[in-house]
Structure 1
Amino acid sequence: MLAAKRSAPAWLTILRPRSLPIEPLPGAGALNRRLWNDALQAIHAFIEEGECRLGIGKPSELALQVLARHPTVSSIYDAMDDFPAFYRGLSRIAMGRRERKVAAQVTRITVSSTALADRFATYHSKLTLALNACAIETLPSPSATTKSSGRPVLGYVGTIGHWFDWPLVFDLAEANPSMCIRLIGPIYELHPRSLPRNIELLPACDHATAMKFMQEFSVGLIPFKHTDLTASVDPIKYYEYRALGLPVLSTSFGEMALRDGQAGVFLMNKHSDLANLVRTAMAYECGIDEMQEFRTANSWEVRFDASGILP
């Protein structure tokens, strides 16, 4: 999905540190240090103004330098992904080392999946599991969500990258030729062969448009491969699908593997009877009360309150 371009609010200051594009290779910090002087001074001035908390969203040499310069400031590392898994070779080793240094220096660590909690178990005294959630304020009311009476649509909204299981989606299309498989989002991993006639590709769109598309789905798809990267993922689209009352047809990766048997969740793999599994998923009915209960339990507000992330 594409985020709408917005100007920064008056209370927010955005710094854009200059740097050579060589991270996470070893030695990147030493080469970029002089380029970061202005940013480091601005951060220091902000901290001097009063109570402050440092939030690290991705391990970096700049983050390590800020932590080292302000060791008494409360800090949190928000591990939203297995960041080393995005890299290979020396870069992967360097990112892993950098992440361990960040984890050791911060006051608290939050993780967004059970697999990440296991990775950082050494830091159990400062570790918090905070799964993803759903922006319920962007959703239509439960009473306004109704299944389409037209041709069944098995739908996916999101980026199509190297983690997307194209072969399984092709099998799904061939096993359900009367149904439309609608894939919406930017494509970075091309499909391996000509598309079956019932697969429809639509470009990236803003969040509001994506919500409208999802309301036309009969089933929400999450067809991800099993990789080091997806092993640590708790997909936000799961929460969006279920908050709209949709059954979810997913591969057994990351946090989704732990949802086997939950209401509205149907797991698939290359050995599944995909025609029968789709029929079972489509027979699932989510009532308004169940939908509202899911939204209430999985809002960002509830998630932050339960985790104690915010002061």
Structure 2
Amino acid sequence: MKRVLYISLVDWFWIKQRPQQLCEQLSDLNYYVDYFCIRAWKNKNKVQKHSEGDDIGLNNIEITDKLRIFRNHVIPKGKYTLINNINGLYLRTKIDKLFSDNNYDFIVVTHPSQLLYLSKHIRQKAKIIYDCMDSYKDFPMNKYSKNRVIKLEKKIINIASNIIVSSTQIKNNLISTYKISSQSIKTINNGVDINNFNINKLSQVTSNELLKKKNNISRKITYIGTISNWVDLKLVIDTADFFKKDTFYLIGPIDIDVPKQLPDNIIFTGPKRYELIPLYIGESDILLMPFKLNDVVKSVNPVKLYEYLAMGKDIIATKYSETLRFSSLVYLYSSKKEFFHYISILGKEKNEETIEKRILFAKKNSWQSRASALTEILR
């Protein structure tokens, strides 16, 4: 049975996304998977339970006999070269020990900096897979840091036995930047956990609603995800100010400064457990993905659209190449005028045929199917 070490940028106990999902599904497909990640020193706004029984204080966790989690503290302020080097040496020592104990067949890296965690011995013994889920060189950083990311990414591409990307745009970026063949890159899009995002879960909702309406005619209009600089908060505020009868919910951790003066029909709920997210979606009339377009966002194959669609809801999302594939099921906007128009007409009536089409699309794009595609490489 094959053994996989998956090195993730994302703490296991954070918003559940591609790394956690792929590892869970691979373990269900009879791979031994170890999930290796960095955890924050402070839990506030950096750690999120997936279910009620999770113990977020543990560093080493055995989820099943085929899936283990290894969470590691490192020295903060890793942006400084000396600290970054110390952290890299520490994590390399940890991975050397894991490799010695488990003799992994595959090591999956998810960021260029993780190359520094792998000794020469490991690079020679295991097959290195690069699972690239963002356009890292386009993140805000100084010139030195950008050049460093590009240099490390080029090295990973040169030594990787396989390169996986989450979007077509990332694939095009890698081809353009590093002059590599398109045949050397496999696109495995993001997906949805159809067991969790299941419309039948709505029957579990009690008479106590999770999202309170402002009034009887108010629609619940919801964004779910990290509230960061890629979210067009001004557009949401302007919309709430115009559609005063509706209630706007922003559900998720906040890592930007939020204006102190907000319309009283905007509610920030903070993050919610993964197992409860379908219930919040189910109570909403309209779901939003109001992203600002930049080079990072243009490379995102959005997990939230798959999850919204699995619940059959009306969705309004920013239009760009990666969302165009959803265009028959999602309302895409390029301007404030279009956004307002869709807000004005949606969430009032249900079309059962459209709901079924959305759910069927989600089922065809499950994390189970993504993991199966990955196993074609992990042989």
TM-score by length of 2: 0.70
Give the aligned partner of residue 138 of structure 1.
196
**C-alpha displacement of 1:232:** 1.3
Give the aligned partner of residue 278 of structure 1.
343
* Unaligned stretches of 5+ residues in structure 2: 1-14, 16-47, 206-212
Deviations 1:193-252 (A, max 9, x none): 611122111111111222211111111101111122212111211111110001211122
Distance in 1 (CA, whole Å) between partners of 2:264 and 2:151 is: 47
What is the identity percentage for the equivalent residue pairs of Structure 1 and Structure 2?
A: 23
Is the alpha carbon distance of 1:144 and 1:310 closer, same or farther for their aligned partners in structure 2, counting shifts above 3 Å? farther
Distance in 1 (CA, whole Å) between partners of 2:241 and 2:76 is: 47
Q: Say if 1:56 and 1:63, in contact at 8 Å, map to a contact too.
A: no
**C-alpha displacement of 1:306:** 3.5
Q: Say if 1:24 and 1:94, in contact at 8 Å, map to a contact too.
A: no
Indicate which of 99, 118, 124 corresponds to 2:182. 124
Give the aligned partner of residue 163 of structure 1.
230
**C-alpha displacement of 1:26:** 9.4
Q: Secondary structure at the match of 2:96?
A: helix
Give the aligned partner of residue 111 of structure 2.
58
Deviations 1:126-167 (A, max 9, x none): 211111100111133459579x98631110111101111111
TM-score by length of 1: 0.84
Is the alpha carbon distance of 1:195 and 1:36 closer, same or farther for their aligned partners in structure 2, counting shifts above 3 Å? closer
Is the alpha carbon distance of 1:187 and 1:37 closer, same or farther for their aligned partners in structure 2, counting shifts above 3 Å? closer
Q: Say if 1:113 and 1:130, in contact at 8 Å, map to a contact too.
A: yes
- Superposed counterparts of 1:290-301, under 5 Å: 290-301=357-368
Give the aligned partner of residue 295 of structure 2.
228
Give the aligned partner of residue 14 of structure 1.
70
**Superposition CA RMSD, Å:** 3.1
Is the alpha carbon distance of 1:108 and 1:180 closer, same or farther for their aligned partners in structure 2, counting shifts above 3 Å? same
Is the alpha carbon distance of 1:73 and 1:38 closer, same or farther for their aligned partners in structure 2, counting shifts above 3 Å? closer
* Unaligned stretches of 5+ residues in structure 1: none
Give the aligned partner of residue 45 of structure 1.
100
Distance in 1 (CA, whole Å) between partners of 2:82 and 2:145 is: 8
**C-alpha displacement of 1:125:** 2.8
Counterpart of 1:124, as a letter, is S
Indicate which of 165, 169, 191 corresponds to 1:111. 165
- Please tell me whether residue 201 in structure 1 is matched to residue 268 in structure 2: yes
Give the aligned partner of residue 266 of structure 1.
331
Distance in 2 (CA, whole Å) between partners of 1:161 and 1:101 is: 30
Q: Secondary structure at the match of 2:119?
A: helix
Is the alpha carbon distance of 1:120 and 1:80 closer, same or farther for their aligned partners in structure 2, counting shifts above 3 Å? same
Q: Say if 2:222 and 2:248, in contact at 8 Å, map to a contact too.
A: yes
Give the aligned partner of residue 70 of structure 1.
123
Counterpart of 1:41, as a letter, is D
